[in-house]
Chain A
Amino acid sequence: MDRRAFLASTTAVMAATATHVPKGKAEACIFMWLGGGAAQMDTFDPKLVGDGKKKPGSYYKAIPTAIRNEQVCKHLHRSAPLMDRAAIVRSITHDISNEHAAAANLVHTGRKPSGTILYPAIGSIVANQLGARTEEVPAYVVMGYPSIIRDPGFLGAKYGNVYLTQVETGPNGLVRPPDVDLNREDRRETLLGQLREGYLKRNAADQTVQQQDAITRSAYKMAGPKFLNVFDLQRENAALRESYGGEFGQRCLLARRLAQSGVRFVEVSHNLNFLNGSGWDTHNEGQLKQHLLIEELDKAFSTLVTDLEKNKMLDTTLVVVATEFGRPPEFDAGGGRGHQSDGFSMVLAGGGLKTGQVIGRTDELAKKVVERPVTIADFHATIHCALGIDPHKNLYAGERPVPITDRGQPIAELFS
């Protein structure tokens, strides 16, 4: 038996012994990204309040939620009564706490980088497995900067994202340049049509030319009004726009519209570091105005959940609140917090999951996981299963099989 055959046979045995894989019914995922590392004890895993200096603990008081006996930070007061639509996973654990980029990459791809292969981001995997739900829209949209952590890796550029860095500018490459009005656009299309027609006629039998032209034509459809109208938030009721809040909230509103239009995976980055001077990376004085970020998250998350519900989309749209790591209960010399990757919180809402529960526990200071650790691979497997994707399925980097998750097990309690 050679190496390849041996691996194939052992993989088959492993697959046969693997536990039952639940299949959810979610059709889209909105992935809210709290870049910088959100402090779990200051958001979804509150503990006894510390003093901001020597005495470790939460920075804010806690309030009850719709989940019995479970609390969240008081600045999440809009979301607290809605937590029965969500599951708080308080026992996320990994081992990269010293480097944001590496941890962010892990949480996006589900794996640590390897020397020979570039792993795809979860959005690209979903795009690859499910494609867009409707024609003429892309499968994967990012509101944030397009970095390696959001790339398609070995899946190839076809499964990359369409991105925008600000709601008002629209998606890169899909909106007309600012100086091109409808009149100019018409002119451009007419001219291009003439050029193309001549070229196609001269090369009527050339398969490469015909193929290139077909893909170009399908692309221009995507830049048509059907998809671009999705970006026009003015079409929404003013009160609703208002209740979503600032730029982050507007992004979430746009995310709902994108999911509605057929986009499968929307990542919404919360990167407004100038609100408190550090974003969620609350070292030193970044802590002082952290409540502004939490309130923004609260507004956006609570409105998104109720808005999805109102549109009868909550059961088919999985909302994820993710971050690269959490923070320790102790305060640093400047009154802020360092990094902690072993024991922090993420949230899953809607998506047809069994919500209204807390998964896992940390100790009395949220410093260590004491019950039901959930790895990043498990977390990814849960998202995939919710979307009806088998997390054990192999993708192929050339000829090399790469399972969708690194042996991740979905959180069974969330599936009925």
Chain B
Amino acid sequence: MGVGFVEPADDWARSKPSHPELLQYLAREFVLSGYDLKHLARLLFSSHAYQRRPIELLADTQMPSKNRLFAGPLRRKMSAEQLVDSLHRAVGKRFECEELNLNPAGDRAPAQFLNMGKPARAWQLTALSNERDRPALALPIAQALVDMMTAYGWRQSRQSAATTRDDASSPMQALILANGVLGTRIVRLSDDGAFTELALKDQPVERLVNESFLRVLSRPATAEETRAMTALLNPVYASRKVAGAGSSYAALKSDNRVSWSNHLSAEATLIRMEEERRMRMGAEPTKRLTKEFRERFEDSLWAMLNSPEFVLMP
């Protein structure tokens, strides 16, 4: 819960487990359940230990395991993958990405151009391999995901074990979340997101605020937070719906006319640069909400997602 039974987690030869009895118990439960990871997770998450208030110290993985006593979980920052997946989950948007393949036309030998598939979760991303710096070989949707993950310590190449990942905080992490292409996409009230539907529901504005906090920060809004956001949304809340407007969401798509065989042509470059531009603009905003309301509500969501509370667990 912030620190492994054994630190580092991939080197059991170097140190002894800090809580051998608990480890033994969990090992037995794991075997008894027929090696069911979900059973193990359920046991952990529903335990009193897991749900205790976090202790207010920085994680010290260097501390000898025999000195490590348990008072409560330690707060920790989400990993790159957790963050990217959580952002999608929080706003109820589908994880969209191009197929990771620089030769969609398929006219080259598969040994030369691996098709790394179409990721549906953050961990499935791979290197984007545009070492040649060619605009037409860019994958703008994947790049937005990779930018965020890279800032949070994900690496395009895996020479060293994933457990040795550097998880230090850096300024770019906050900036890419606040201003990056993915952040803009996530915050936008488009017709593919849960918050658009939530905002359209007939309910008092306080309830909308509270539901939003539950979705993004997994807790109800405090009285002050409710007051601040209600004050912002209230003046435009009653008139937020645009009569007669329908839902229209076009999934992100990569133009498959651009391929290795033609990527040096000016046209291919222009197609990709246009895709990059569209990505920067973010998702198409919903027409079912007025601009005045939409922008205010987007800004509220932005503030919740960019609060240090969002990236820290618990």
Contacts and interface: CB of A to CB of B under 8 A. Distances in A.
Interface of A: 33, 35-36, 100-101, 104-105, 113-118, 138, 144-149, 151, 153-158, 160, 162, 165-166, 169, 172-179, 184, 187-188, 191-192, 194-196, 198-199, 203, 205-209, 211-213, 215-216, 218-220, 222-223, 269, 271, 273-274, 277-279, 281, 397-398
B262 to A, nearest CB: 11
A37 to B, nearest CB: 10
Given A35-B132, A101-B129, A203-B56, 12 more contacts: A101-B131, A138-B172, A151-B150, A187-B299, A188-B302, A191-B302, A194-B303, A211-B169, A219-B172, A274-B265, A278-B264, A281-B132
Contacts of B62: none
A268 to B, nearest CB: 11
A77 to B, nearest CB: 27
A196 B181 CA distance: 23
A209 B75 contact: yes
B178 A154 contact: no
B281 interface: yes
Contact of A208 (B59, B156, B280, B295): B59
22 contacts: A101-B129, A101-B131, A101-B132, A148-B127, A157-B168, A157-B172, A162-B172, A165-B135, A166-B273, A173-B147, A177-B183, A178-B280, A179-B282, A192-B306, A208-B312, A209-B312, A211-B58, A212-B77, A219-B174, A220-B174, A220-B178, A279-B264
Contact of B129 (A147, A151, A195, A223): A147
A215 B280 CA distance: 25
A317 to B, nearest CB: 23
B153 A194 contact: no
Nearest to A206: B56
B228 A191 contact: yes
B76 interface: yes
A231 to B, nearest CB: 13
Interface string B192-205: 00000000000000
Interface stretch (B82-90, B159-167, B247-255): B159-167
Contacts of A144: 133
- For the complex of A and B, the 8 pairs showing the least CB-CB separation, nearest first, are A156-B166, A219-B171, A191-B303, A271-B133, A219-B174, A101-B131, A208-B75, A173-B176
Contact of A206 (B75, B132, B155, B273): B75
A156 B165 CA distance: 8
Contacts of A206: 54, 56, 75
A39 B164 CA distance: 41
Given A198-B224, A205-B56, A191 B229 contact: yes
B223 to A, nearest CB: 10
B152 interface: yes
B240 interface: no
Contacts of B59: 208
A164 to B, nearest CB: 11
Given A184-B299, A222-B175, A271-B135, A172 B77 contact: no
Interface string B118-162: 000000000111111111101000010011001111011101100
B171 A215 contact: yes
Given A165-B135, A207-B58, A271-B134, A223 B160 contact: no
B59 to A, nearest CB: 7
Contact of B151 (A155, A173, A223): A173
A175 B176 CA distance: 10
Contacts of A165: 135, 138, 276
B290 interface: no
B300 A191 contact: yes
Contacts of B147: 146, 172-173
A199 B217 CA distance: 11
Contacts of A273: 134, 136, 264, 269
Nearest to B270: A274
Nearest to A274: B266
B308 interface: yes
Given A157-B168, A207-B56, A188 B299 contact: yes
Contacts of A173: 147, 151, 172, 175-176, 178-180
A118 B166 contact: no
Interface residues of B, number: 77
Given A113-B159, A156-B166, A191-B303, A145 B76 contact: no
A147 B130 contact: yes
Contact of A35 (B133, B151, B304): B133
Interface in B60-94: 74-77
Contact of A223 (B128, B143, B178, B183): B178
B184 interface: yes
A93 B22 CA distance: 59
A157 B173 CA distance: 9
A296 to B, nearest CB: 15
B296 interface: yes
A154 B224 CA distance: 44
B309 interface: yes
A166 B273 CA distance: 10
A312 to B, nearest CB: 30
A203 B56 CA distance: 8
A283 B98 CA distance: 30
Contacts of B179: 173-177, 223
B222 A156 contact: no
A28 to B, nearest CB: 20
Interface in B256-271: 264-266, 269
Given A207-B58, A212-B308, A213-B308, A222 B171 contact: yes
A284 to B, nearest CB: 11
A36 B131 CA distance: 10
Given A156-B166, A220-B174, A148 B156 contact: yes
Contacts of B168: 156-158
Most buried by A among B77, B175, B311: B175
A147 B128 contact: yes
A162 B150 CA distance: 11
B113 to A, nearest CB: 13
B232 interface: yes
B170 interface: yes
A145 B307 contact: no
Contacts of A175: 179
Contacts of A162: 172
Interface in B93-132: 127-132
Contacts of B178: 173, 219-220, 223
A187 B308 contact: no
Given A173-B176, A198-B222, A104 B160 contact: no
